[in-house]
Amino acid sequence: MKIGIAGIGGIGSNVARHLAQAGVRQIRIVDHDRVEALNLNRQFYGFSQVGEKKTDSLEKNLKQIFPDMDIEKIDQKIEPGDAGVLFSDCSIVVEGFDNKTLKKMIIEDLSGTNKVVVSASGIAGKNMAAVTTRKMGNCRIVGDFVSDQTDHELFPPKVAMVAAVMAGMVLRHMGKEAPEFKPLSPRRLPHGIYGILGEKFSLGRTNADVARQMVAAGIDVLQYREKLKDKSLKQMLEECLEIREITRDAGVPFIINDHVDIALMVGADGIHQGQDDLPVSHLRRIAPDMMIGCSTHSPDQARKALADGADYIGVGPIFPTQTKEDVCDAVGLEYLEQVVKTHDIPFVAIGGIKRHNLRDVLSRGAKTVCLVTEIIGARDIEKRIREIKQILGEFK
């Protein structure tokens, strides 16, 4: 089985190193750059190789590890449409570029093929605990999905970690021994869009259908929220089993509101509780590895949730909302600002947030935001999430 590597900088050269160490025999490396001294802190090259073609230098270094490795070098800049030809006989292709346009080009060129594409997104910064994996079509992606190197410095240990996880994915698909990767901190709330399901607001679509669309569009967290007056426990369980599969395949954290029994039965990643639900401290006894979130509406409630051991809190409702019954009055942006200034606990800003007021929330320091009807009530969910992500991108 031949492995292709497009781009052999920090990610690509280190993935190749791990594959050589694991005894992978056939690889094809494609790049047109030369070794630079500034990049030696994170790339698999030496000072004596500065100025050499990366393809030549990497071949020498890999042969020092595995002399029998069959390395095919292509010293070429990859243009749109080239990937399908360059990697036509490769079963797995590693995308190792740091340029967003090139990344997108490789993934799009190889989408819909029978090849497995292993890529990275969010490798900058020092937050190694946020690194996780996702599956989108034939592509497996590793990273924190947030930290872009235009806004954060590259941290060599994190680059090396992402490359190691990617190499593990390659080996797994080759049938070689490699354990499944689990995030270092599975109970850490990701930054981005926190989606909530609710058929009442979904324009006649089922929760599972909406979940598929949200996951395909790149939702960062997904919560199931239904009430017993609308659905039986059996119906909820059946829906959650299906949604658990959808989210597991994509590597999206799945959280269930209120029903810890269903969360445990389906293997959800987390449970979210309100102020009148089961206490966080008691839930931790039966769900020690589960992410537990708690809705808060005041500084006192935030302090108590933190003391009780919540992994994250809901901060809101920021604005008036009609999506939740028996909800308290809007707490406004002041409470959000207070949480940002006084607490380190991850939080999701929630309640009445729409595209037109999203910037007001983000400018106060929110990193994870929940827009309910704005997403599940949209005719085109993928377009709506793309619009929201564009606004989020202004504050990275």
Question: Out of 13, 103, 295, 304, which one is annotated catalytic?
Answer: 295
Q: Which member of 324, 364, 367, 384 is catalytic?
A: 324
Is 202 an active-site residue?
A: no
Q: How many helices (H) and strands (E) does the chain have?
A: 14, 15
225 is catalytic: yes
∠ at Cα 151 (97, 184), nearest 5°? 75
Nearest one of 19, 92, 89, 93 to 61, comparing CA atoms = 19
Query: CA-to-CA distance for 39 and 71, rounded, in angstroms?
Result: 23
For 12, 263, 313, the CA distances from 4, given in Å and listed in that order, are 10, 40, 43
Q: Are 117 and 140 in contact (CB under 8 A)?
A: yes
Q: How is residue 115 annotated by DSSP?
A: -
Q: CA 129 to CA 25: how far, in whole Å?
A: 32
Side-by-side strand order, sheet with 26-30 = 70-74, 26-30, 2-6, 92-95, 116-120, 139-143, 132-136
**3-state DSSP call for residue 183?**
coil
Which of 225, 227, 284, 389 is catalytic? The answer is: 225
Quote the CA–CA distance of 94 and 133 in Å, as a whole number. 14
Instruction: Report the relative pairing of strands 139-143 and 132-136 from DSSP bridges.
Output: antiparallel
Q: Is 295 a catalytic residue?
A: yes
Q: Kindly report the number of other CB atoms within 10 A of residue 108's CB atom.
A: 13
Residue that the structure tokens 């030809």 belong to: 85
Helix, strand and coil percent figures for the chain, each rounded to 5 = 40, 20, 40
- As a whole number of angstroms, the distance between CA 107 and CA 112 comes to 10
Alpha carbon 385 to chain centroid, angstroms? 15
Q: Which residues are catalytic?
A: 225, 295, 324
